[in-house]
Homo-oligomer: A and B are copies of this chain.
Protein backbone atom coordinates (compact mmCIF):
# COMPACT_ATOMS: atom_id res chain seq x y z
CA UNK A 1 0.00 0.00 0.00
CA UNK A 2 1.14 3.51 -0.72
CA UNK A 3 0.25 7.03 0.39
CA UNK A 4 -0.51 9.78 -2.12
CA UNK A 5 -0.01 13.42 -1.13
CA UNK A 6 -1.30 16.25 -3.33
CA UNK A 7 -0.80 19.93 -2.56
CA UNK A 8 1.45 22.92 -3.03
CA UNK A 9 5.21 23.32 -3.10
CA UNK A 10 6.38 26.83 -2.38
CA UNK A 11 9.27 29.13 -1.62
CA UNK A 12 8.39 30.84 1.66
CA UNK A 13 9.81 34.08 3.02
CA UNK A 14 8.96 34.25 6.69
CA UNK A 15 9.62 36.87 9.32
CA UNK A 16 9.09 36.26 13.03
CA UNK A 17 9.95 38.48 16.00
CA UNK A 18 13.12 36.39 16.38
CA UNK A 19 14.57 36.01 12.89
CA UNK A 20 13.75 35.74 9.20
CA UNK A 21 14.31 33.44 6.28
CA UNK A 22 13.97 33.91 2.51
CA UNK A 23 12.78 31.50 -0.19
CA UNK A 24 12.85 28.51 2.13
CA UNK A 25 11.16 25.26 1.19
CA UNK A 26 7.43 25.35 1.97
CA UNK A 27 4.00 24.35 0.73
CA UNK A 28 1.41 21.91 2.02
CA UNK A 29 2.57 18.89 -0.02
CA UNK A 30 6.11 19.46 1.21
CA UNK A 31 5.22 19.45 4.90
CA UNK A 32 2.70 16.61 4.60
CA UNK A 33 5.00 14.28 2.69
CA UNK A 34 8.08 15.00 4.79
CA UNK A 35 6.15 14.35 8.00
CA UNK A 36 4.58 11.18 6.57
CA UNK A 37 7.95 9.92 5.35
CA UNK A 38 9.00 9.14 8.94
CA UNK A 39 6.32 6.46 9.23
CA UNK A 40 6.11 4.21 6.18
CA UNK A 41 6.83 4.41 2.49
CA UNK A 42 6.28 4.84 -0.27
CA UNK A 43 5.02 8.43 -0.21
CA UNK A 44 3.91 9.62 -3.64
CA UNK A 45 3.92 13.39 -4.16
CA UNK A 46 1.90 15.25 -6.80
CA UNK A 47 2.53 18.96 -7.24
CA UNK A 48 3.99 21.60 -9.46
CA UNK A 49 7.03 23.89 -9.34
CA UNK A 50 8.69 26.36 -11.69
CA UNK A 51 12.03 26.01 -13.42
CA UNK A 52 13.61 28.04 -10.62
CA UNK A 53 12.86 25.43 -7.95
CA UNK A 54 16.25 24.70 -6.35
CA UNK A 55 17.69 21.25 -7.01
CA UNK A 56 18.68 20.96 -3.34
CA UNK A 57 15.00 20.96 -2.38
CA UNK A 58 14.30 18.20 -4.90
CA UNK A 59 17.19 16.25 -3.40
CA UNK A 60 15.91 16.81 0.15
CA UNK A 61 12.52 15.33 -0.74
CA UNK A 62 14.09 12.40 -2.63
CA UNK A 63 16.37 11.59 0.29
CA UNK A 64 13.24 11.08 2.37
CA UNK A 65 12.03 8.41 -0.04
CA UNK A 66 9.37 10.67 -1.46
CA UNK A 67 8.57 9.54 -5.00
CA UNK A 68 8.62 12.62 -7.22
CA UNK A 69 7.29 11.07 -10.43
CA UNK A 70 4.23 13.33 -9.96
CA UNK A 71 6.20 16.55 -9.49
CA UNK A 72 5.71 18.61 -12.61
CA UNK A 73 8.27 21.28 -13.50
CA UNK A 74 6.50 23.96 -15.55
CA UNK A 75 7.96 26.91 -17.47
CA UNK A 76 7.87 29.92 -15.14
CA UNK A 77 8.42 30.58 -11.47
CA UNK A 78 7.56 28.57 -8.37
CA UNK A 79 4.72 29.60 -6.03
CA UNK A 80 6.03 32.15 -3.52
CA UNK A 81 4.52 33.22 -0.22
CA UNK A 82 5.67 35.84 2.24
CA UNK A 83 4.39 36.22 5.78
CA UNK A 84 5.19 38.05 8.98
CA UNK A 85 4.32 36.76 12.44
CA UNK A 86 3.62 39.10 15.32
CA UNK A 87 4.89 38.76 18.86
CA UNK A 88 1.73 36.75 19.49
CA UNK A 89 2.51 34.02 16.97
CA UNK A 90 -1.19 33.30 16.48
CA UNK A 91 -1.40 36.49 14.43
CA UNK A 92 0.25 36.74 11.02
CA UNK A 93 0.12 39.08 8.05
CA UNK A 94 0.48 37.74 4.55
CA UNK A 95 2.99 40.04 2.88
CA UNK A 96 2.61 38.63 -0.62
CA UNK A 97 1.25 35.63 -2.51
CA UNK A 98 2.67 34.98 -5.97
CA UNK A 99 0.88 31.92 -7.35
CA UNK A 100 3.05 31.69 -10.49
CA UNK A 101 2.93 28.13 -11.96
CA UNK A 102 0.65 27.02 -9.09
CA UNK A 103 -2.15 29.15 -10.56
CA UNK A 104 -2.60 26.61 -13.36
CA UNK A 105 -2.01 23.53 -11.20
CA UNK A 106 -4.05 20.67 -12.64
CA UNK A 107 -3.09 17.50 -10.80
CA UNK A 108 -2.45 14.55 -13.09
CA UNK A 109 -1.89 11.40 -11.10
CA UNK A 110 0.74 9.08 -12.65
CA UNK A 111 -0.52 5.54 -13.34
CA UNK A 112 1.57 3.99 -10.59
CA UNK A 113 0.18 6.46 -8.05
CA UNK A 114 -3.46 5.73 -8.88
CA UNK A 115 -3.34 2.50 -6.93
CA UNK A 116 -2.44 4.27 -3.65
CA UNK A 117 -4.98 3.42 -0.98
CA UNK A 118 -4.16 6.26 1.39
CA UNK A 119 -4.73 9.77 0.03
CA UNK A 120 -3.96 13.09 1.69
CA UNK A 121 -5.44 16.09 -0.07
CA UNK A 122 -3.57 19.23 0.99
CA UNK A 123 -5.29 22.57 1.09
CA UNK A 124 -6.05 23.37 -2.57
CA UNK A 125 -9.21 24.24 -4.53
CA UNK A 126 -11.89 21.61 -3.74
CA UNK A 127 -12.47 21.32 -7.50
CA UNK A 128 -8.92 19.98 -7.83
CA UNK A 129 -9.27 17.79 -4.74
CA UNK A 130 -12.29 16.13 -6.38
CA UNK A 131 -10.32 15.78 -9.62
CA UNK A 132 -7.64 13.86 -7.75
CA UNK A 133 -10.16 11.47 -6.22
CA UNK A 134 -11.71 10.89 -9.67
CA UNK A 135 -8.36 9.58 -10.88
CA UNK A 136 -7.84 7.12 -8.04
CA UNK A 137 -8.60 3.44 -8.59
CA UNK A 138 -9.77 2.36 -5.17
CA UNK A 139 -8.85 4.75 -2.38
CA UNK A 140 -9.40 3.17 1.02
CA UNK A 141 -8.81 6.18 3.21
CA UNK A 142 -8.98 9.85 2.21
CA UNK A 143 -7.94 12.75 4.45
CA UNK A 144 -8.44 16.34 3.38
CA UNK A 145 -7.61 19.82 4.56
CA UNK A 146 -9.23 23.09 3.51
CA UNK A 147 -9.29 26.74 4.59
CA UNK A 148 -11.52 29.81 5.03
CA UNK A 149 -10.91 30.90 1.44
CA UNK A 150 -12.52 27.74 0.00
CA UNK A 151 -15.25 27.56 2.67
CA UNK A 152 -16.34 31.04 1.64
CA UNK A 153 -15.68 30.86 -2.10
CA UNK A 154 -16.21 27.20 -3.06
CA UNK A 155 -18.80 25.97 -0.59
CA UNK A 156 -20.78 23.83 -3.05
CA UNK A 157 -17.72 22.02 -4.37
CA UNK A 158 -16.39 21.59 -0.84
CA UNK A 159 -19.67 20.01 0.26
CA UNK A 160 -19.44 17.58 -2.68
CA UNK A 161 -15.90 16.70 -1.70
CA UNK A 162 -16.82 16.14 1.97
CA UNK A 163 -19.11 13.26 0.96
CA UNK A 164 -16.06 11.45 -0.42
CA UNK A 165 -13.52 11.87 2.37
CA UNK A 166 -13.03 9.86 5.54
CA UNK A 167 -11.38 12.58 7.60
CA UNK A 168 -11.55 16.36 7.43
CA UNK A 169 -8.81 18.25 9.26
CA UNK A 170 -9.48 21.94 9.96
CA UNK A 171 -8.82 24.48 12.69
CA UNK A 172 -11.37 25.87 15.14
CA UNK A 173 -12.17 29.07 13.26
CA UNK A 174 -12.63 27.12 10.01
CA UNK A 175 -14.99 24.70 11.79
CA UNK A 176 -17.09 27.57 13.12
CA UNK A 177 -17.21 29.14 9.66
CA UNK A 178 -18.09 25.91 7.86
CA UNK A 179 -20.91 25.01 10.27
CA UNK A 180 -21.96 28.62 10.89
CA UNK A 181 -22.11 27.73 14.59
CA UNK A 182 -19.98 29.22 17.39
CA UNK A 183 -20.10 26.18 19.72
CA UNK A 184 -17.33 23.86 18.57
CA UNK A 185 -18.97 20.63 19.77
CA UNK A 186 -22.21 21.46 17.96
CA UNK A 187 -20.25 22.59 14.90
CA UNK A 188 -18.40 19.26 14.87
CA UNK A 189 -21.65 17.29 14.83
CA UNK A 190 -22.96 19.42 11.97
CA UNK A 191 -19.77 18.99 9.91
CA UNK A 192 -19.75 15.21 10.39
CA UNK A 193 -23.31 15.22 9.04
CA UNK A 194 -21.89 16.77 5.85
CA UNK A 195 -20.00 13.56 5.14
CA UNK A 196 -16.70 12.82 6.88
CA UNK A 197 -16.80 9.92 9.31
CA UNK A 198 -14.03 11.55 11.33
CA UNK A 199 -13.40 15.21 11.98
CA UNK A 200 -10.26 16.67 13.51
CA UNK A 201 -10.33 20.21 14.84
CA UNK A 202 -6.90 21.70 15.48
CA UNK A 203 -6.76 24.32 18.24
CA UNK A 204 -3.09 25.35 18.13
CA UNK A 205 -1.72 25.83 21.64
CA UNK A 206 -4.86 24.12 23.01
CA UNK A 207 -4.36 20.78 21.27
CA UNK A 208 -6.76 18.99 18.94
CA UNK A 209 -10.14 17.29 19.06
CA UNK A 210 -11.10 14.12 17.17
CA UNK A 211 -14.79 13.47 16.59
CA UNK A 212 -16.33 10.21 15.42
CA UNK A 213 -19.78 8.65 15.63
CA UNK A 214 -19.36 7.49 19.20
CA UNK A 215 -16.47 9.35 20.73
CA UNK A 216 -14.77 12.64 21.24
CA UNK A 217 -11.03 12.52 21.86
CA UNK A 218 -9.09 15.45 23.26
CA UNK A 219 -5.37 15.50 22.47
CA UNK A 220 -3.18 17.83 24.51
CA UNK A 221 -0.81 20.38 23.02
CA UNK A 222 2.89 20.00 23.65
CA UNK A 223 3.90 22.64 26.20
CA UNK A 224 6.40 24.93 24.47
CA UNK A 225 8.14 27.90 26.05
CA UNK A 226 8.87 29.28 22.63
CA UNK A 227 7.63 28.64 19.14
CA UNK A 228 10.10 29.58 16.49
CA UNK A 229 7.97 29.50 13.33
CA UNK A 230 4.41 28.13 13.14
CA UNK A 231 4.41 27.88 9.31
CA UNK A 232 3.46 24.40 8.13
CA UNK A 233 2.42 23.06 11.55
CA UNK A 234 -1.08 22.18 10.33
CA UNK A 235 0.20 20.36 7.24
CA UNK A 236 2.81 18.56 9.32
CA UNK A 237 0.05 17.44 11.67
CA UNK A 238 -1.87 15.98 8.71
CA UNK A 239 1.28 14.23 7.45
CA UNK A 240 2.03 12.66 10.82
CA UNK A 241 -1.60 11.63 11.23
CA UNK A 242 -1.98 9.85 7.90
CA UNK A 243 1.62 8.59 7.99
CA UNK A 244 0.95 6.73 11.22
CA UNK A 245 -2.30 5.24 9.91
CA UNK A 246 -0.53 4.21 6.71
CA UNK A 247 2.17 2.53 8.77
CA UNK A 248 -0.17 0.69 11.15
CA UNK A 249 -2.91 -0.06 8.60
CA UNK A 250 -5.39 0.14 11.47
CA UNK A 251 -8.32 2.50 10.96
CA UNK A 252 -10.10 1.79 14.25
CA UNK A 253 -11.20 4.81 16.33
CA UNK A 254 -8.71 3.77 19.05
CA UNK A 255 -5.78 3.82 16.63
CA UNK A 256 -7.06 7.07 15.13
CA UNK A 257 -6.48 8.66 18.57
CA UNK A 258 -2.83 7.61 18.49
CA UNK A 259 -2.59 9.01 14.96
CA UNK A 260 -3.85 12.39 16.21
CA UNK A 261 -1.13 12.37 18.85
CA UNK A 262 1.54 11.41 16.29
CA UNK A 263 0.29 14.30 14.16
CA UNK A 264 0.58 16.63 17.15
CA UNK A 265 4.06 15.29 17.92
CA UNK A 266 5.25 15.97 14.36
CA UNK A 267 3.75 19.48 14.46
CA UNK A 268 5.56 20.16 17.75
CA UNK A 269 8.86 19.44 16.00
CA UNK A 270 7.92 21.52 12.96
CA UNK A 271 7.55 24.79 14.88
CA UNK A 272 11.00 24.48 16.48
CA UNK A 273 12.78 25.78 13.36
CA UNK A 274 12.17 27.76 10.17
CA UNK A 275 10.76 25.96 7.14
CA UNK A 276 11.35 22.20 7.20
CA UNK A 277 14.51 22.65 9.28
CA UNK A 278 13.26 20.47 12.13
CA UNK A 279 11.59 17.87 9.88
CA UNK A 280 14.68 17.19 7.80
CA UNK A 281 16.71 15.36 10.38
CA UNK A 282 14.32 13.53 12.66
CA UNK A 283 14.40 9.89 13.58
CA UNK A 284 11.47 7.63 14.30
CA UNK A 285 12.91 7.04 17.77
CA UNK A 286 12.68 10.75 18.57
CA UNK A 287 9.13 10.83 17.24
CA UNK A 288 8.19 7.92 19.50
CA UNK A 289 9.81 9.63 22.49
CA UNK A 290 7.69 12.67 21.90
CA UNK A 291 4.59 10.49 21.56
CA UNK A 292 5.35 9.13 25.04
CA UNK A 293 5.76 12.67 26.36
CA UNK A 294 2.23 13.39 25.14
CA UNK A 295 1.09 10.32 27.03
CA UNK A 296 2.70 11.48 30.27
CA UNK A 297 1.23 14.92 29.75
CA UNK A 298 -2.37 13.74 29.66
CA UNK A 299 -2.50 10.51 31.64
CA UNK A 300 -4.17 10.24 35.05
CA UNK A 301 -5.19 7.22 37.07
CA UNK A 302 -7.02 6.95 40.33
CA UNK A 303 -5.52 4.72 42.98
CA UNK A 304 -7.70 1.72 43.70
Contact = CB atoms under 8 A, between A and B. Distances in A.
Interface residues of A, number: 42
Tallying the copies of this chain within the complex gives 2
Interface in A161-192: 182-186, 189
A205 interface: yes
A215 interface: yes
Nearest to A293: B216
B185 A217 contact: no
Nearest to A216: B223
A295 interface: yes
Given A183-B225, A217-B298, 19 more contacts: A87-B182, A88-B182, A183-B226, A186-B226, A189-B225, A203-B206, A206-B207, A207-B207, A215-B296, A216-B223, A217-B297, A217-B300, A219-B300, A220-B298, A255-B303, A258-B300, A258-B302, A260-B300, A298-B298
What are the 4 closest A-B residue pairs judged by CB atoms, nearest first?
A218-B220, A206-B206, A257-B300, A185-B223
Interface of A: 87-88, 182-186, 189, 203, 205-207, 209, 215-221, 223-226, 248, 250, 254-255, 257-258, 260-261, 291, 295-303
